[in-house]
Amino acid sequence: MDNKYIENMLSKMDKDLSSHGISRRQAMKMAGLSGAGIFMGGATSASAEEEKTVKSDAKAKIVIVGGGLAGISTAARLTLNLTDPDITIIEPEKTSATYQPGQTLVAAGIWDEDEILYQRDDFIPDGVKVIEDRAVFFNPQENKLTTEKGQVVTYDYLILAAGVQLDFERIKGLEEAGRALSAGNNDKLLDALGDSICSIYTAQGSTKTWEIMQKYIAQAKSGSPDKKTKFIFTHPNTPIKCGGAPKKIIYLTNARLKEAGARDNAELTFYPNGGAMFGVPEYHDAIVGQFKREGIKHHYRHNLIEVDKEKKIAVFDAMWQEKGPWDPVMKDFEVIPKHEKVRVPYDFLHISPAQIAPREIGESDLGSAKGWVPVNKETLQHIRYMNVFSIGDVAQVPMGKTGGSVRKQYKVLVDNLIAHMNGKKLEGKYAGYTVCPLITDIGTVMLAEFDWTVMPTPSFPLDPTVERWIFWLMKVYALKPMTMYGMMSGRA
């Protein structure tokens, strides 16, 4: 990042702040101390409260399926809150503790993959057992599960934190990619995607995204405004983790193109499946404004269904509605849904893949008709099995597939689980908080925070729809230590 960029950002930020009567110093203090301070578990009221927590003597065998951020944070907090914990984590992947929010930054060449790669075993709390295997058969009637290698595991309490699978397989032409997980070895997926298709949804893939992005930025640089290099970005028709990521990668590509002086030779187009940029109207409006300002095109209601890798064509299923004939009974016109296949040539294609719960869970007795784990969205307890809880991406909780949601969820889950072990009422309630630090440029972030009220719920006394440098600092410097050392130790 050159100095001009930073100066530019700073002057923008100062103008912004002065309209609120805050100096940059004060803002840094706010973001750095009260903001990051809370996250780091410093001397704040939140952590003071925690110290008062009385450890529970309740005993039970707790099994956690999945050793990602949600699984490990929950195990850590249970260890802190139980005098005699008996916890087992089932997780086959050694790098399951990888810092996923950093993948966008890796994909834009701001971080290296090493900076997000973490070993699971460094974060497993003392006394917690690990089974390096995958749970594939669930028998919740008998409180049993079986792993891929045939080990039968019994439990008193089961916590499902298995995350989501990235379903590249459903896209015609990419079947060989199969379904991928974010961490671990994804060579097969990268081979299937080739050299012009990329996805930041895997750790390895984010490094590859940066390679491919540089290649096409170079192509744009040597091109001309008449023959633009086409950058295409997608958003699938399933719930996804971090709904902001498909947009972050657009903004970062845009920033890198501008930096290379090649923006005029490139065309950026976003094809989301939905009909809006964001579920919260305030943030939707802000993003539409940003797209307009940056000259990024978008076409709503386009779902990627096929890729022709040789001819470099992405096929979308485009949906719309038409006014039909008059219905004399309803006294209104009928609405006829229509759709057709749209073929879009691309140079650079970024896929945000469809995401599903692992089928062994989604299609088991623990799954719902929609293939997720149905839980009470406030207590995170399974709706049928009272000794089963679920957290993170795999839980059927509206909106919350982010690490920011997990940060609120795991405390609720631990409180409720211990309450249930003691035969008390479940009083912990998750309010749907989630956060998306939406990177809008190299150096600015719009901190989109919201909950089930679908209203912005800002943590800072600033207009939440404005992109700010202080949030960029928070995203790049404060959130990772907060997540890796605060949450994973069960404290933040």
Partner 1 sequence: MKKIVFFMLFASMGLVASKGEIPYAIGLKLTPQPAKIYTVECADCHGTDGKQTSFSGFPGVIMYAKIAGMDTATLAKTIKEYRGGVESKDYQPLNKYGYGAAMKAPTRDLSWDEIDAVAKYINGLK
Is 436 a residue of the active site?
yes
Residue 304 to residue 307: CA distance in whole angstroms: 8
The DSSP letter of residue 394 is G
- Pick from 175, 191, 195, 211: which binds partner 1 (CB under 8 A)? 175
Which residues neighbour 416 within 8 Å (Cβ) at sequence distance 6 or greater? 379, 380, 381, 389, 426, 427, 428
- From 65, 97, 418, 436, the catalytic residue: 436
| Binding flag, residue 313, partner 1 (CB under 8 A) | no
Among 86, 90, 115, 78, which residue's Cα sits nearest to residue 100? 115
Q: Specify the stretch interacting with partner 1 by CB under 8 A; choose among 173-181, 198-206, 292-300, 477-485.
A: 173-181
Which residues neighbour 485 within 8 Å (Cβ) at sequence distance 6 or greater? none
- Pick from 40, 60, 136, 319: which binds partner 1 (CB under 8 A)? 136
| Binding flag, residue 179, partner 1 (CB under 8 A) | yes
The residue (of 134 and 491) whose beta carbon lies closer to partner 1 is 134
Distance of closest approach, residue 101 Cβ to partner 1, in angstroms: 25
Return the residue matching tokens 């086409």. 230
The enclosing H or E element of 247 equals helix 245-259
- Pick from 20, 55, 59, 172: which binds partner 1 (CB under 8 A)? 172
3-state SS, residue 382: strand
The residue (of 115 and 148) whose beta carbon lies closer to partner 1 is 148
Residue numbers 248-287 binding partner 1 by CB under 8 A: none
The residue (of 107 and 307) whose beta carbon lies closer to partner 1 is 307
- Pick from 12, 258, 359, 429: which binds partner 1 (CB under 8 A)? 359
Burial class (CB in 10 A: 0-12, 13-18, 19+), 106: buried
Which residues neighbour 118 within 8 Å (Cβ) at sequence distance 6 or greater? 95, 97, 98, 99, 484
Distance of closest approach, residue 282 Cβ to partner 1, in angstroms: 39
3-state SS, residue 175: helix
Distance of closest approach, residue 403 Cβ to partner 1, in angstroms: 24
Which residues neighbour 229 within 8 Å (Cβ) at sequence distance 6 or greater? 216, 219, 220, 223, 262, 265, 266, 267, 347, 348
The residue (of 223 and 371) whose beta carbon lies closer to partner 1 is 371
| Binding flag, residue 149, partner 1 (CB under 8 A) | yes
Burial class (CB in 10 A: 0-12, 13-18, 19+), 50: middle
Distance of closest approach, residue 117 Cβ to partner 1, in angstroms: 23
The residue (of 165 and 355) whose beta carbon lies closer to partner 1 is 165
Q: Specify the stretch interacting with partner 1 by CB under 8 A; choose among 6-14, 209-217, 354-362, 435-443.
A: 354-362
| Binding flag, residue 370, partner 1 (CB under 8 A) | no
Among 351, 342, 372, which residue's Cα sits nearest to residue 231? 351
Residue numbers 21-60 binding partner 1 by CB under 8 A: none
The enclosing H or E element of 46 equals helix 45-51
Residue 456 to residue 297: CA distance in whole angstroms: 26
Q: Specify the stretch interacting with partner 1 by CB under 8 A; choose among 24-32, 79-87, 92-100, 149-157.
A: 149-157
Q: Specify the stretch interacting with partner 1 by CB under 8 A; choose among 96-104, 165-173, 252-260, 272-280.
A: 165-173
- From 189, 190, 242, 445, the catalytic residue: 242
Q: Specify the stretch interacting with partner 1 by CB under 8 A; choose among 79-87, 107-115, 172-180, 471-479.
A: 172-180
Residues near partner 1, by CB under 8 A: 134, 136-137, 146, 148-150, 152, 165, 169, 172-173, 175-176, 178-179, 305-306, 358-360
Supply the residues annotated as catalytic: 242, 436
